[in-house]
Every structure is written in C-alpha cells, then in structure tokens.
Amino acid sequence: MAQLLCVGIDVATRLNKAQFLDDSEQLHGRLSFANDADGASRIASHSRQLADEIGVSQIRFGIEATGFYGWHLAMYLSKAAELEGAQTGVYLFNPRTIRGFKRAYPDLPKTDWADAFAIAERLRFGRLPKPFNFDDRYLPLQRLTRHRVFLVKDLARLKNYFLGYLFLKCNRIAKSQGLPDPLGVAMSDILVECYSVEEIARTPLANLAQAVIDKSHNKFQNPYAVAKQLQTAANHSYRLPDALKDPVNRILASTMQVMRELIRQIRDTERDIQREMRALDCPLNSVPGIGPVLAAGILAEVGDIRNFDDDDALAKFAGLTWREHQTGDFEAEDRPLTRSGNVYLRYYLVEAANLVRRYAPDYAAYYKRKHDEATKHHHKRALVLTARKLVRLIHALLRTGQPYSGPRDEVAPDPPQITLGQ
C-alpha cells in the first residue's frame, strides 16, 4: 500500500506542469496550472485531495531551482493552509541533478511532462537535500548579498572588456608591469582623455607629468617617472588606423563610466547590507578579515545552522567537496571541485578565506602549506582548501554563538574597498 505521494513540478513563466507518483511507482495523473497565487492554491488543494483518496498522509513536492520562477510556489507550498495536517516537504533540485537523473531513463522524451515525471521519480528514490525552508530574518539579507555578487561579477567582466580595448588602443600600456594600474582613476582618466597613442607620445614630458599629478591628486611618489614610463610605452605600442581611434576612445570612456557607476552601486548595496546586519547578532564578525558584508553573505545562505548536523553537511551544501576518481590501481591526484552546491555561499566562503588567511596566523600557515604542496593551480587549490577549513570554524561559531578566540595578528583591518584597480 502506498505511503507517500510525490509531486514533481516543472516550473515555467506562465504554466507549470505537475506529475503525481506514489512510492509504489503508480502514476496518479497530471495537472497543468498557472504560475500565480491561484495556481499555487490549486496544486496544493489537488495534492491534498489526491493524498486523501489514495490514503497517504505524506506529500513531497519537488521543484527545479530555476531562478525566481519557482520561488513563490515553493514559499506557498511550504506554508499552504490547504496542506495543514499533512506531512509535507518541499525540495528544490539543482537542474543539473535532474538532468543527470534523467540519463537513467533513455526513452524519456524532452518535454515538460517528462521533466515533471523525472522530478517525481527523483523524490521517490530518496536521498534528498534539506527541505526548502525560509526564515524571514535572512530573506532581505539574502536578496542584498546576492545582488552584490551580481554587481561584482558584472564589474569584473567590464574590467576585462576595458583592458581588451585598452590593448587595442595602446598595447604596451595595457600589459606594462612598471606602470600604475590602468584601471586606477588617474591612469584611466589620462588614457581616455588622450585621443591616441600618438598624442601621449608627443605631449611634452612636463605637461604629462603635471597631468599625472592633477589626476592622482599628487599621490604618486615620482610622477615624472610615471609620465616617462607612459611615454615609453606609447612609443613602443602599435598604431591604430585613424578611422578606429575615435570609436575605441568612445568605447573606453563609456565602459569606464559604467564601471564607476557599478562601484557606486556596490558601495550603496554594502551600506544596505550593513544596516540589515545591525539587527542580527552574528559571531562571524569576530573572525579577523571577515567584515559585516562577508559575514552577511555567509549568514544569509546558511540561515539556521541547526539545518546542518556538522561541518561536512555545510561544506556539501556549499559545494566545497571533492569526488574521488579511482579505478583499479589508479587513483587520480587532481580531484575537481564538485561545484554542485550553493554558488553564493561558496563565493562568500572563498572570498572570506582569502582575507582570513591574511590576518589570522593559523590560516596563513595552513594556506602556505597547501600552496607549497600543490603541483599546479597553487593559489586556487590552497584558497579553496582554506575555505573548507574555514567552514569548520563557521559551523562552530554559529552553533555556539560564541565569538572567535583563536590566534590573530594585532591589527586586522577591514576588507579593502572595491576600486577600479582591484
């Protein structure tokens, strides 16, 4: 006799498709419903009615985690009045998990109904992730910290775009090791305001040095040396055709303007995050190198630490795990990161590890040891392993609520502000 009803839901912008399967592999029909509040009420009522008809009290809902499309539905089903009294669980699956699961069914077509069936079948198999559960305390923080990741990645993309066009305009300046960062305010202003490489090369050295002083507010120790290096790089750079000079310069100026606006947006978002953090007592702020923004990014994704039995469970949730690759007598030394967990939590853990290893001596020593042990990918490998070590500390601090009391340098400055040159 069936004891469980599995409801697999394929989510779309307008219409969702649901398949109903019990734990004895019997299908109980399917339902198409609108992706809105009325549709959510309909699927909840239909699932409860069907569960009563077949005599089960446990209902599992499965949804692919496809951005915002399934978020409202998951929220509704986790608290639906129509399901009161039933044992329910809502599970969000990584789309990659469902794609991999479907490979065991080579005859399944690629349709929304087939996807819904695969989700229901995955629910029936068990070994499920933690049920979807939201906490009002962390929802605003999560939206803000995820938005910050979006802005930071956009900024990184634009920096590479700017440097590409700078290479087109003046390749030796873009790749010079001795010059100040071309993404810094002073250098980028000079490079954009000078129409061409020829203009930089023929400007009198005294005038170019004065421009360096003015644009940098005299922050360079030897502005004349900077001006001389700038002219030398310009003299040895390729020359653009005249027809390309103006379009390239316009693109550089436009990209720089967008980057500066993005930096302003990131700083505004960080101030909003810090305001939200004031209402939360978070022991992660006590870890050297972890400021309120990084602490917020971690806390917003972890939520209630009681959802994780130990640090291994938390590391798995973040995707900081490595699969063994072994066959016969062969065992691979290079094990790639699984990357199947929460991408935002993994991002903030790695960012935090990169700062903690600068200010906490024990983490600095651990990072150096792993860096020296690596045969390739030295920094990346050491940093990710340091992030995994940091997970143990974070799990302990959040579980006990006690501040960090381990060894640290005398001064642990706040994480650096984002600038164009970073």
Q: Is residue 134 a part of any domain in this protein?
A: no
Last residue of a domain, one of 97, 125, 153: 125
Percent of the chain with pLDDT over 90: 56
Instruction: Specify the pLDDT at position 8.
Output: 97
- Which pLDDT tens digit goes with each residue over 335-344? 666 667 889 9
Residue 326 has pLDDT above 60, yes or no: no
Residue 323 has pLDDT above 70, yes or no: no
Q: 291 with 365, same domain?
A: yes
Instruction: Specify the pLDDT at position 348.
Output: 96
Q: 49 with 12, same domain?
A: yes
Of the listed ranges 73-82, 93-102, 332-341, 386-395, the one predicted with least confidence? 332-341
Q: Which residues pair with 22 in a beta bridge?
A: 5
| Cα 320 to Cα 311: distance, rounded to the nearest angstrom | 11
Q: Is residue 226 a part of any domain in this protein?
A: yes
Residue 191 or residue 32, greater confidence: 32
Write out the residue range of the structural domain in which residue 333 sits.
282-400
Last residue of a domain, one of 246, 272, 298: 272
Residue 412 has pLDDT above 50, yes or no: no
In which band, very low, low, confident or very high, does the pLDDT at 324 lie, cut at 50, 70 and 90? low
Percent of the chain with pLDDT over 70: 91
The three-state DSSP-derived secondary structure of 249-307 is HHHHHHHHHHHHHHHHHHHHHHHHHHHHHCCCCCHHHHCCCCCHHHHHHHHHHHCCHHH
Q: 262 with 341, same domain?
A: no
Residues 16/34, Cβ–Cβ less than 8 Å: yes
Q: 160 with 206, same domain?
A: yes
| Prediction pTM value | 0.84
- Which pLDDT tens digit goes with each residue over 203-248? 898 998 898 898 888 888 888 988 898 888 888 888 989 899 999 9
Instruction: Specify the pLDDT at position 116.
Output: 96
Domain count, the chain: 3
Q: Is residue 81 a part of any domain in this protein?
A: yes
In which band, very low, low, confident or very high, does the pLDDT at 185 lie, cut at 50, 70 and 90? confident
In which band, very low, low, confident or very high, does the pLDDT at 15 lie, cut at 50, 70 and 90? very high
Which tokens go with 40? 């959510």
Q: 116 with 159, same domain?
A: no
Mean pLDDT, the chain, whole residue set: 88
Q: 396 with 296, same domain?
A: yes
Q: 95 with 174, same domain?
A: no
Q: 175 with 227, same domain?
A: yes
Instruction: Specify the pLDDT at position 411.
Output: 47
| Cα 218 to Cα 91: distance, rounded to the nearest angstrom | 58
Residue 398 has pLDDT above 90, yes or no: yes
Q: 90 with 149, same domain?
A: no
Q: 245 with 336, same domain?
A: no
135-141 average pLDDT score: 85
| Cα 376 to Cα 132: distance, rounded to the nearest angstrom | 38
Residue 74 has pLDDT above 60, yes or no: yes
| Cα 120 to Cα 19: distance, rounded to the nearest angstrom | 7
* CB atoms closer than 10 angstroms to residue 195: 12
Q: Is residue 98 a part of any domain in this protein?
A: yes
Instruction: Specify the pLDDT at position 333.
Output: 59
304-330 average pLDDT score: 79
Task: Identify the CATH number of the domain in which residue 80 sits.
Answer: 3.30.420.10
Instruction: Specify the pLDDT at position 158.
Output: 96
Q: 161 with 239, same domain?
A: yes
* All residues at 6 or more sequence positions from 247 whose CB lies less than 8 Å from its CB, including other chains: none
